Amino acid sequence: MEIYPFCCVSSKIGATIIGALEIIGGLLGLIWARIVHIELENDKEDLLEAEAEYWRYQSHPTLTNEELSQKIAILQLRFIYGMVMSLASIVTASILLHGIKNKRPRLILAHLVLNVMLYIFSIFFSIFYANEMYRDVLVIVFLITLYCLVVVCHAYMEIWKALNRNDTFSAVTYTRT
């Protein structure tokens, strides 16, 4: 009996859907980052003043300029983090889709390793730089990401077993001359 961990379809199809959604999410993240960057450049003084008022209201009314510049640096770090994660998502999803299409389990394994590294990096980043509002959302995102990693891992095992049973589907076929 076959186990289908992704909505009653095979794990290869599920991993393909996950890869496509990762690419779409990465592209949307880059578009969002570009829009935010344009708005920040156009209204830099107004946005910094509004951010200063927000931080003064949230933390303490006597927030110094040095503390305020530190808070703004953290916001810029979040912006850079979002862009890096969007680009990494697009790259790893492309590796995953290529590995599934060409039945290359090492590419799927590379996707898994890279995503686990990004996942660990995201956990550390969210612990140190995420505010309270985002932490609840990040817990849900981390659980969804774990589920996606399980589906991709199952697809890796499925392709690996198929290649080991019948070596005619491998990427490199050796012939005797």
2: phi then psi, degrees, rounded to nearest 5: -85, 140
pLDDT of residue 72: 67
pTM above 0.85, yes or no: no
pLDDT of residue 124: 78
For 27, the token pair is 């592209």
Q: Give the pair of three-digit tokens for residue 104.
A: 């290359």
Q: Please give the Cα distance from 135 to 169 (Å, whole number).
A: 44
- Cα separation of 150 and 155, whole Å? 9
pLDDT for residue 137? 73
Which among 154, 75, 64, 150 is positioned nearest to 115, based on CA atoms? 150
Encode the chain (177 residues) as per-residue pLDDT tens digits. Answer: 456 665 677 788 888 998 999 999 899 988 887 777 776 666 666 666 666 666 566 655 565 667 667 766 777 777 787 888 889 889 999 999 999 998 888 898 888 998 888 888 877 777 776 666 666 777 787 888 888 888 888 888 888 888 877 655 445 554 455
Structure tokens, 41: 């450049």
